């Protein structure tokens, strides 16, 4: 009997990828259906549905679910869900699609057929309403708001049957773990309390400190990095993986950390995104999500601890996975080690404040990076990447 947290919704995992034996024939049939091109975010969402990371969703949301999720973080059935999962189409295409018609969902960048969808609903959205609730802003410079504003005019809702996970399983072999696989791995290790660490960056000393705090209070840490599309200037997954491996091998007790990746595309929704990160990690079998400073934020749109406070607004039973809230971390020259405001009594003049943005700036300029900031093995890997740009 597994001691891991239950999948979201209280049932079992519901991956929407068809069994391999059925895919070949269904792909042939899908090629005869009306194609609906998808954005990179929508393609990413299809793969999240395919692998079961969006359990218990059965497809893209209809109008009532969209509105409820935006306004109250609830689907029509009362299921907690903090960010709408939607698929858009042009007015011309939506008008041509008949009620309950099956369409082929196509990756707009590669042309690959990713899924078949039975279109049960067509509806237009209030973009400002979605952005104000989900992102807390309608500023078009916010990357999440920009994506919503770029969506086609009409949303299509309906059940989805997935036919592909794209390039991820082969490109990220050994790193790409589905929820069923991570759960099996945790069970094999005898873990029941597992803390997930979300990252889209190579890990510096501050990240390492957060993970080590989690190791102290849980059975293990699941370093789970973003494999979907990132912002310009972000370091690619292959380099991040090498750098994180070097940190794990050199500075963690063997058997306390698992590194993996998943195909989500960041929305930079701050507090709401922290919630969906926790929900997804519940499906992967994690009891906790590490939430530090400005989780999934961008610019100055959110306060440094808004993503921690939002968990306190949830109703009982909304989410089984809990936040592991940790204060801002830094290196203290007087303590001669990593610390937070709760553990270090010294003034700010003794602190080395660490951030991924600052690290990228120093690397791009070829500036020296002190060991208080990042491990030398990690820096060597990142320098090699920047030298090749």
Residue 200 is among the residues annotated as catalytic for this protein: yes
| DSSP line for 311-380 | GGGPPTTS-SSEEEE---EEEETTTTEEEETTT--S-GGGEEE--HHHHHHHHHTT----TTTS-HHHHH
Percent of the chain with pLDDT over 70: 100
pTM of full prediction above 0.85: yes
Cα–Cα dist 340/357, whole Å: 20
Tokens of 304: 């440094």
- The CA distance from 32 to 34, in Å, is 7
- Is 219 within 8 Å of 189 (Cβ atoms)? yes
- 197 within 8 A of 207, measured Cβ to Cβ: yes
Instruction: Please choose, from the candidates 127, 161, 157, 158, the residue with its C-alpha nearest in 3D space to the C-alpha of residue 144.
Output: 127
Residue 222: other Cβ atoms inside 10 A = 28
**Token pair listed for 161:** 């049957």
Q: Hey, what domains does the chain have and what are their CATH numbers?
A: 20-169 (3.10.400.10), 175-387 (3.40.50.620)
The pLDDT value recorded for residue 358 is 84
Question: What per-residue confidence (pLDDT) applies to 230?
Answer: 72
DSSP state of 10: S
Cα 296 from Cα 290, distance rounded (Å): 12
pLDDT band at 1 (very low <50, low <70, confident <90, very high): low
Contact 375, 251 (CB under 8 A): yes
Q: What does the pLDDT look like over 202-252, one tens digit per residue?
A: 899 999 999 999 999 999 999 999 998 777 778 889 999 999 999 999 999
36 vs 232 pLDDT, higher one: 36
Which structure tokens are listed for 92? 């011309």
Active site residue 353: no
Closest CA to 296 of 283, 281, 284: 281
pLDDT of res. 243: 95
Task: Report H helices in 219-330.
Answer: 237-251, 271-284, 306-309
The model's pLDDT over 176-196, given as tens digits with 9 standing for 90+, comes to 999 999 999 999 999 999 999
Given the residues 136, 161, 178, 200, select the one marked as catalytic: 200
**41, 136, 201, 272: the active-site residue:** 201
């Amino acid at each position: 009997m597994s001691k891991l947290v239950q999948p979201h919704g209280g049932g079992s995992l519901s991956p929407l990828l068809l069994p391999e034996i059925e895919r070949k024939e269904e792909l042939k049939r899908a090629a005869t259906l009306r194609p609906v091109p998808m954005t990179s975010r929508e393609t990413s969402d299809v793969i999240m549905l395919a692998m079961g990371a969006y359990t218990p969703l059965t497809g893209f949301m209809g109008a009532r679910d969209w509105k409820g999720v935006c306004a109250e973080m609830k689907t029509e059935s009362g299921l907690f869900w903090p960010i709408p999962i939607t698929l858009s189409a042009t007015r011309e295409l939506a008008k041509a699609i008949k009620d309950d018609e099956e369409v082929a969902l196509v990756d707009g960048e590669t042309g690959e057929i990713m899924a078949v969808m039975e279109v049960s609903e067509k509806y237009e959205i209030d973009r400002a309403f979605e952005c104000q609730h989900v992102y807390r802003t309608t500023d078009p410079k916010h990357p999440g708001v920009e994506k919503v504003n770029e969506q086609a005019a009409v949303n299509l809702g309906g059940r989805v049957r997935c036919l592909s996970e794209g390039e991820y399983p082969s490109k990220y072999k050994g790193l790409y773990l589905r929820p069923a696989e991570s759960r099996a791995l945790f069970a094999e290790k005898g873990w029941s309390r597992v803390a997930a660490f979300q990252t889209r960056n190579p890990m510096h000393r501050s990240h390492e400190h957060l993970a080590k705090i989690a190791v102290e209070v849980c059975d293990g840490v699941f370093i789970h990095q973003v494999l979907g599309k990132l912002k310009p200037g972000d370091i690619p997954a292959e380099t991040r993986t090498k750098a994180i491996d070097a940190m794990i091998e050199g500075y963690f007790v063997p058997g306390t950390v698992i590194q993996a990746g998943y195909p989500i595309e960041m929305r930079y929704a701050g507090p709401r995104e922290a919630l969906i990160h926790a929900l997804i990690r519940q499906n992967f079998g994690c009891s906790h999500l590490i939430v530090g400073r400005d989780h999934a934020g961008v610019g100055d749109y959110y306060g440094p601890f808004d993503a921690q406070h939002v968990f306190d607004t949830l109703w009982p039973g909304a989410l089984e996975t809990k936040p592991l809230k940790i204060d801002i971390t830094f290196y203290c020259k007087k303590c001669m080690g990593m610390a937070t405001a709760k553990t270090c009594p010294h003034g700010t003049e003794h602190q080395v404040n660490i951030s991924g943005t600052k690290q990228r700036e120093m690397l791009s300029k070829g500036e020296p990076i002190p060991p208080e900031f990042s491990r030398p093995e990690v820096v060597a890997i990142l320098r090699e990447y920047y030298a090749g740009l």
